[in-house]
Amino acid sequence: MLPEDGTIISKERFPSPHPRIHLYTITYFSQGLKIKGLLAEPIGQEVYDGFLYLRGGIKNVGKVRPGRIIQFAAKGFIVFAPYYRGNQGGEGYEDFGGEDRLDAISGFKLLENHPRVRNDSIHIFGFSRGGVMALWTAILCRTAASVVTWGGVSDMFLTYVEREDLRRMMKRVIGGTPTKLRKEYEYRTPLFAADELDVPVLIIHGEQDQNVSVDHAYRLEKILNEKDKHVESWYFREYTHYFPPAVNRQVVEDLTQWMKQQTQK
């Protein structure tokens, strides 16, 4: 019998740029596949909130960056970032918000089982395509404390329309166009399951974003408000998909404080 999803198979030290945070390359189970990811743990025995970091992109575009993981861990979290199936030596094939969402859900379970993570205090963060992953994980993991989507995709139909440069990849990975495979695009679009999203949601988006248009944020905010969900939005009129370093640091500070406030309510 295979181990349960989220079970750690191996844990190897990875060079850390922070003297008080250890990094590890993790191999864990998801649907019987061996998946890779990066785990950040502040040194010591203190218990922390968990932080599931869900990256954007696909394959070698938008890879997990150790510095980014350290940035969040330094705010007082144990952070786990799945690489998703088929990446960095992991088994399987990444499919852009399809079955690979289960690697995020298994990552959530990994944090649930972590001896230094507080019960019911696991937050989910998604950047860019990771927004879809984060929303689906929050929908399917009802014990999540909060979810943050930053420059996040919420509508795969809109992504296909807006990103002509991604259409060939999307047709190859998903199997066709939205016209021919409507159910596959609906399956990847969390807006269709907004009724089931019962955790506090924070939307962060630059209004000049050309990678993921702010319409993704507007659509998500609108449907969550219509369904009387707990949603807060921070829009930045002058910024694109990537914020200047000083602003980025401040937003990280603000969003991590927002997360911790959700567990104190």
Residue 160 placed within a domain:
yes
State both tokens at 168: 């060939």
Average pLDDT for 74-80: 98
Q: What is the pLDDT of residue 84?
A: 96
d(CA 40, CA 80): 6
Q: What is the pLDDT of residue 53?
A: 98
Average pLDDT for 19-28: 98
Residue 50 placed within a domain:
yes
Predicted confidence (pLDDT) at residue 2 exceeds the cutoff of 80: no
Is position 241 annotated as part of the catalytic site?
A: yes
Q: What is the pLDDT of residue 61?
A: 82
Phi, psi (degrees; rounded to nearest 5) at 198: -115, 30
Instruction: Dump pLDDT digits (tens) for 51-76.
Output: 999 999 888 888 999 999 999 999 99
Residue 3 placed within a domain:
no
Residue 1 placed within a domain:
no
Position 258 confidence tier, pLDDT thresholds 50, 70, 90: very high
Taking the complete model, does pTM exceed 0.85, yes or no?
yes
Residue 48 sits at the vertex; the CA angle it makes with 47 and 52, to the nearest 5 degrees, is: 135
Instruction: Dump pLDDT digits (tens) for 154-171.
Output: 999 999 999 999 999 999
Q: Which residue segment(s) compose the domain that 28 sits in?
A: 8-264
Q: What is the pLDDT of residue 58?
A: 87
Is position 233 annotated as part of the catalytic site?
A: no
Q: What is the pLDDT of residue 1?
A: 74
- Sheet containing strand 231-236, edge to edge, reads 8-14, 21-30, 33-42, 77-82, 48-54, 117-127, 146-150, 201-206, 231-236
Q: What is the pLDDT of residue 3?
A: 87
Average pLDDT for 174-194: 97
State both tokens at 71: 């940035």
Catalytic residue among 128, 146, 154, 213: 128
Predicted confidence (pLDDT) at residue 265 exceeds the cutoff of 80: no
* Count of domains for the chain: 1
Chain mean pLDDT for the chain: 96
Of 139, 137, 157, 136, residue with least CA distance to 216: 157
The position carrying tokens 């198979």 is 9
Residue 194 placed within a domain:
yes
Q: What is the pLDDT of residue 47?
A: 97
Instruction: Dump pLDDT digits (tens) for 196-219.
Output: 999 999 999 999 999 999 999 999
Predicted confidence (pLDDT) at residue 117 exceeds the cutoff of 80: yes
Average pLDDT for 33-46: 97
Residue 101 placed within a domain:
yes
Q: What is the CATH number of the domain that holds 153?
A: 3.40.50.1820
Residue 2 placed within a domain:
no
Burial class (CB in 10 A: 0-12, 13-18, 19+), 236: middle
